[in-house]
Amino acid sequence: MNTHALSDFLEFSAEVAAARAAGQPIVALESTIISHGMPYPQNVQTAREVEQIIRAGGAVPATIAVLGGKIRIGLSEAELELLGQSPEAMKVSRRDLPYVIATGRIGATTVAATMICAALAGIRVFVTGGIGGVHRGAETSFDISADLQELARTSVAVVCAGAKSILDIGLTLEYLETQGVPVLAIGQDNFAAFYTPDSGFKADFRIDDADQQARFLQTKWALGLAGGVVISNPVPETDAMPRAEIDAITEQALREAAAQGISGKSVTPYLLARIKALTEGRSLTTNIALVKHNARAGARLALALGR
């Protein structure tokens, strides 16, 4: 039988390899946001700017994707461009990783898959836009993002602007509580709602300071409590969308998706694109702002963990 070592599947960029050798803090970034989360060319432009923010914060960015049968930890400019312009790029979660690697397809990693790949690479901090969660109507559809199960089992801190507002945020938090996943909030007591700072639901703990966040993570993992931590970093008020407006638009987009029979992993890209159209592009501006804001918080946390 052909046995592969884990190292056979991981390939580090020169920048990330050098950072690992030097013991520098590294921040993982997902690639679904590039392939499925934003239109071209804003997707590639944002990816580059987010990487630059992490470098400016004193850490090294590692954008993760699957290319040529390898999990790539850190991408070149050309590879970011390829992901941003490849409609055939697969949206890869836990179940899809073996298929995409084995077949050599282009794979853009979701929150769940990026957590797995970051953990394999020894990276403890991951920055994204918003986590997946329990979809509205999940009591009949059973549509629950694999991100939540991954948070229960994979020991990576996920810095996000809360959960996407298209989800049932109350049920998402209930599910995380059941799975023992702590939800930390920065700058406020409540959990964030992606396009708006406040979901109306409380987070478990408010910890504003990066050193204290790092102490929390180290304590959790030292106790043998495996699994991730959600760090909710609300979009700045100046970049947020009015809550009543985004709620109404989300409801409309959800009705349209249901009418068209859109389901499964196609739902989120459809809703994000529809919300962008209905807000005349303002939701995309907010999306870009919140990812950059998360990158700053992620760099601070990675530095603190390194200390």
State how far the Cα of 119 lies from the Cα of 218, in Å rounded to an integer.
15
pTM: 0.95
Each residue of 200-258: pLDDT tens digit? 999 999 999 999 999 999 999 999 999 999 999 999 999 999 999 999 999 999 899 98
Domain ranges in the chain are 6-306
Percent of the chain with pLDDT over 70: 99
From the candidates 15, 81, 164, 220, which is the catalytic residue? 164
Residues 136, 141, 145, 148: what is their CA dihedral angle, to the nearest 10 degrees?
80
* pLDDT at residue number 37: 84
Each residue of 127-185: pLDDT tens digit? 999 999 998 888 878 889 999 999 999 999 999 999 987 899 999 999 999 999 999 99
* pLDDT at residue number 166: 84
Q: Give CA angle at 183 (287, 206), nearest 5°.
A: 95
Known catalytic residue: 30?
yes
Known catalytic residue: 245?
no
Each residue of 56-90: pLDDT tens digit? 999 999 999 999 999 999 999 999 999 999 999 99
* Domain covering 6-306, topology: Indigoidine synthase fold (3.40.1790)
Percent of the chain with pLDDT over 90: 87
* pLDDT at residue number 6: 81
- Please name the amino acid found at residue 177: E
From the candidates 30, 51, 81, 150, which is the catalytic residue? 30
